[in-house]
Amino acid sequence: MSHLPHISAIDDLLTVRDWLRYATTRFTAADLVFGHGTDAPLDEAAFLILSALHLPVDQLEPWLEARLTRDERSEIAGLIEARVTTRKPAPYLVNAAWIRGRKFYVDERVIVPRSYIGELLDDGLSAVIPDAEVVEQVLDLCTGSGCLAILAALAFPNASVDAVDISPDALDVAARNVGDYALADRVTLHKSDLLAGLGTRKYDLIISNPPYVTSEAVAAFPPEYQAEPELAHLGGEDGMDLVRRILRDAADYLTPGGVLVVEIGMGRETLETEYPDLPLLWLDTEQSEGEVFALGAEALGVRADD
């Protein structure tokens, strides 16, 4: 399929509606892969166009007939071209990702955030934490861009949050986001290989969205997923290598009555087969089933006198 020359698109397409149609056509024809905040060509087109125009990314209708300046049309044309030719996820092109209505800075040093734990934090993980006010110490393992640590700080107003990642690059991005949310006094970043560098700290809540993709799936990634740091995806042959380490060591870092919450993707069958005696509580969301589990400290062997 041939496409309009770049300059022709800028001259011929005048309104947001024009550019939305054009981008959707280009993305569909290019057979792009989605999943970094949007799931279809139309949604991706809307995200890029609204981001470029500094408009709310969840409000398309009011702007559809708005005519764009030539500079605006040129910027949008460049973003559409970049999405098609580079196959990079859209959030990298505009340095922005949204979780639960909140904007976070992202670039290629971190995975594009998209954790179901974000949704569960909306009500302070009420399924396993009866009172958000009493949570004082929270740990976010594999924090990446820092988004879950920030959402946790907002969900648990009396908590200090430690955010851990093995990647210095990821921690640099997280630091920017923590600063943007003015939470540097409550969110502390640590370079650590999971729990290894945390000493004797104890937490009322540990959350983690660790790498959990199988080696085979990582090897077959489309370009959009290859653009992200492999370190943030690769969970070993069956995807559960880091999850096993978290389960092995978490008891040493939980307070009595504390809770561990971990996202594991498609690993439920593997986990339940390997740990038949663990009373895993599955925390489903609007878009997921059996992808996030919770475990109380007692189930992990933490005693009240520890």
Kindly report, residue by residue over 133-170, the tens digit of the pLDDT.
Answer: 999 999 999 999 999 999 999 999 999 999 999 999 99
Tens-place pLDDT, residues 164-220: 999 999 999 999 999 999 999 999 999 999 999 999 999 999 999 999 999 999 999
- Tokens read off for 190: 């640590």
Place of tokens 């069956």: 238
Domain locations in the chain as residue ranges: 6-94, 111-300
Which pTM value belongs to this model? Answer: 0.94
Which amino acid does the sequence have at 152? A
CATH class of 111-300: alpha beta
Q: Which CATH architecture has domain 6-94?
A: Orthogonal Bundle (1.10)
